[in-house]
Chains A and B, each alone.
Chain A
Amino acid sequence: MLTKRIIPCLDVDHGRVKKGVNFVNLTDVGDPTEIARAYEAQGADELVFLDITATNEKRKAIVDTIASVASQVFMPLTVGGGVNTVADMQALLKAGADKVALNSAAVANPDLIRQGAEKFGAQCIVVAIDVRYQASQDRYQVVVNGGRKPVDLDALEWAQTAVAAGAGELLVTSMDKDGTKSGFDLPLYQALTQVVDVPIVASGGCGAIADFTNLFEETQVDAGLAASVFHFGELTIPQVKATLKAKGVTVR
């Protein structure tokens, strides 16, 4: 059986991991390669790097970071944050990324998904969707620009559009849950898995091991992503996997 994936997410700014990672034995808490190696040793199934560099050297810095990580760490790597063009995708994939995540740029120009999928294969193209529940219309609304700007787009419709255009995976973050540590947005993922058939990575809200258990018992998503609970050692990947295994969830 295909295993459910547990994915730590690293925010990278100018080649440095932004929120320090609090593991023992790290000599440099901001070094992406060292952190990636530590997560590989813990049994992470994949790593997501989110480039939050806000300057013009942006692209070069993240490409160098990925090239460095990929020469030392041999596991699937996904990179997102400011991927705007086919050239951006190509540079990251060539540096050693396995997948690139498109977000705001894909909302602005959905054809970018098709261009990427045609050139590199759908399995390389992740569409990242940040969503917020919009009570007035009883729907999940897409937000862009790092979760700051709502757009008039239904997230479930956008998910289907993105998959039709060639997205091989969706990385869906609940902005309502993000940072709350109150658990994943289960109704969101239940709804999403009804309308698309590509793998879905759930993100936002993880605060405890039970949140992963609930996610995989209550929804059909393929992976759970978290950042701070892993970085600050509140949870370890072996703990999460041991609990999941005891509950009958297939993990590596």
Chain B
Amino acid sequence: MIVIIDYDTGNTLNVKKALDYLNIDNQLSADPAEILAADGLILPGVGAFQKAMVALEERQLVPVLQQAAASGKPMLGICLGMQLLFETGYEFGITPGLGLLPGVVVPIPSKPGFKVPHMGWNQNQAQQQNPFAAVFDQENTYFVHSYYVQTAAKNIVATTDYSVAIPSIVQRNNVVGMQFHPEKSGQVGLAGLTAFKEMVNDARVPRN
């Protein structure tokens, strides 16, 4: 069972629709017991960093998500949900994030020819080899965001070029983030969600 964290953000239902379409067992929940019992977690998110952290705090989910990540449970953050995995957001002031991955979230630099938000289909370039890179390398996915993550190269699975190299997929151990919307990126996006399901399945099977 994959639990989609339900904290009143925009794309939650579209993530659910995509998992339903793929016949991936899932439910929406903000209940700590259900979250900690899940095989894998998806943290969706659309909107502003600070408001989203407040919404998680109001539901007392910050320590729950930190505990789940520390236990090795596979976790996928999508769009703003990916940004929340990091230490600090610089949107409307300085806001601490979940701190599951090292790094910060800063504005996309405004340059001529590069409108902000970065909205539309852009291509991913793999920066290392792993199952998510295998799905998304050279593929276009759908982005909508005004801020981006800065983190160490070892955490960056793929980037997309938009005046700067924007980390489009990040991963450290069990924690994965996608800056684009896999639930809105057509067949390749669905393949990415399937890759996450396989990661969840692999984590659930005890290994010798």
CB distance from A200 to the nearest CB of B (A): 10
Tell me which residues from 14 to 32 in chain B have a Cβ below 8 Å from any Cβ of chain A.
14, 17-18, 20-21
Residue on A nearest B112 in the bound complex, by CB: A197
Residues of B within 8 A of A168 (CB): 117, 119
Distance A120 CA – B186 CA, assembled complex (angstroms): 23
Residues of A within 8 A of B21 (CB): 71-72, 74
Residue on A nearest B143 in the bound complex, by CB: A2
Partner-contacting stretch, out of B54-62, B120-128, B195-203: B120-128
Cβ-based interface call for A51 (8 A): no
Residue pair B190, A252 in contact (C-beta under 8 Å): no
Centre residue among B10, B20, B121, B187 by max chain A CB count within 10 A? B121
Residue pair A5, B120 in contact (C-beta under 8 Å): yes
Residues of A within 8 A of B89 (CB): none
Q: B140's contact among A71, A122, A252, by CB below 8 Å, is which?
A: A252
Cβ-based interface call for A93 (8 A): yes
Residues of B within 8 A of A1 (CB): 122-123, 161-162
Residues of B within 8 A of A94 (CB): 13
Residue on B nearest A70 in the bound complex, by CB: B17
CB distance from A164 to the nearest CB of B (A): 15
Cβ-based interface call for A96 (8 A): yes
Tell me which residues from 173 to 194 in chain B have a Cβ below 8 Å from any Cβ of chain A.
183-187, 189-190
| Interface flags, A60-97, vs B, CB<8A=1, else 0 | 00000000001110111000000000000000011010
| Interface flags, A137-179, vs B, CB<8A=1, else 0 | 0000000000000000000000000000000110000000000
Residue on A nearest B48 in the bound complex, by CB: A121
Residue pair B17, A121 in contact (C-beta under 8 Å): no
Residues of B within 8 A of A197 (CB): 115
Residue on B nearest A220 in the bound complex, by CB: B113
Residue on A nearest B18 in the bound complex, by CB: A74
| Interface flags, B2-17, vs A, CB<8A=1, else 0 | 0000000010011001
Centre residue among A1, A93, A222 by max chain B CB count within 10 A? A1
Cβ-based interface call for A239 (8 A): no
Q: List 28 A-B contacts (CB under 8 A).
A: A1-B122, A1-B162, A2-B122, A2-B162, A3-B121, A5-B120, A5-B121, A45-B120, A70-B17, A74-B18, A74-B183, A74-B185, A74-B187, A74-B189, A75-B184, A76-B142, A96-B13, A96-B17, A121-B10, A121-B46, A121-B47, A123-B46, A169-B119, A198-B115, A199-B115, A222-B120, A252-B121, A252-B140
A75-B184, A96-B17 are known; give 18 further A-B pairs, CB within 8 A: A2-B119, A2-B122, A3-B123, A45-B120, A70-B14, A71-B20, A71-B21, A74-B17, A75-B186, A76-B142, A93-B10, A98-B144, A121-B46, A121-B48, A123-B117, A123-B144, A124-B10, A199-B115
